[in-house]
Chain A
């Protein structure tokens, strides 16, 4: 959108900065620490994921009561729920195998690069390749379904 508020992208950047700093501070940007969670050696990841979900849950619940629309876009504060279908299970399982093998997920991979982890470029290259492969297949296999929101 061309008529976007001038503070839109700066705010997204600051939000990303906070998000990435948190991933660094929590050591989620370190695959070893995520693998230690999955192997039950250190359950700290639970505090990261549920801590973040609780904070965002409070924000998602309170903001619609405070104002009608977001100041920088004019969009109403609404829940954008994704429809459930078999893909959630199939994709979730494929993601699970990849996450369990590598100990890295997309957001943590971006933050990991920032902490100096050049080796994570292997994971990022893999993610782009995987995203391209499924997109190529799904674009050509059928006229694709509705957009899936903001994740």
Chain B
């Protein structure tokens, strides 16, 4: 191995926040997926929740097909929200510190009842319009970053690999264009 300082610096520039928090976070996301699969045999993805939850309020056949799974999907999503809160109450609040966790400078931190919470600075119109397209796209495209990206790629599904390649390429193009147009954050 050649430890060329120029090459090392170039690689470090690609990961300005290190890789610890990403690798540990990814490990936990995978662990959560495996935990559910081990107990239930279900490779759970996050985006079906959108349609399955709509079945509580809409009689459309497209949503009613998810009646059988809507209860546990609600529990899964509640767990994800609770997981985000657990992270905020521990690591984000500084109660647990780790060399593998790089805090970061994005958005805005604020405190409620001793818990350090976080809020994004990305503009609401981007979140809303992007959200609409995410809602349409994941359901037509049969999966999102967890269904295709984690479960699908983990099962070496060709459909999911093509899905991931498609949305990754388009998302990179979109983000680059939006940034080039001067939209920030």
Query: Which residues of A are interface residues toward B (Cβ below 8 A)?
Result: 1, 7-9, 11-33, 35, 38-60, 63, 69-73, 75-84, 87-120, 122-136, 138-140, 143-144, 147-151
- Report B-chain residues with C-beta under 8 Å of the C-beta of A115: 84-85, 87-88, 92, 117-118
For the complex, what is the distance from the CA of A112 to the CA of B101, rounded to whole Å? 17
- Report B-chain residues with C-beta under 8 Å of the C-beta of A140: 60
For the complex, what is the distance from the CA of A12 to the CA of B35, rounded to whole Å? 8
Of B91, B148, B172, the contact of A38 (CB 8 Å cutoff): B172
Beyond A70-B37, A119-B119, A123-B128, 19 extra complex contacts between A and B, CB < 8 Å: A18-B31, A19-B32, A19-B83, A22-B83, A26-B25, A32-B107, A48-B29, A55-B26, A55-B29, A82-B160, A95-B133, A96-B173, A98-B131, A101-B126, A114-B82, A127-B132, A134-B62, A135-B60, A151-B47
Q: How many B residues, CB 8 Å from partner? A: 132
Contact A13 B76 (CB under 8 A): yes
For the complex, what is the distance from the CA of A129 to the CA of B119, rounded to whole Å? 22
- Report A-chain residues with C-beta under 8 Å of the C-beta of B126: 101-103
Of B80, B124, B142, the contact of A151 (CB 8 Å cutoff): B142
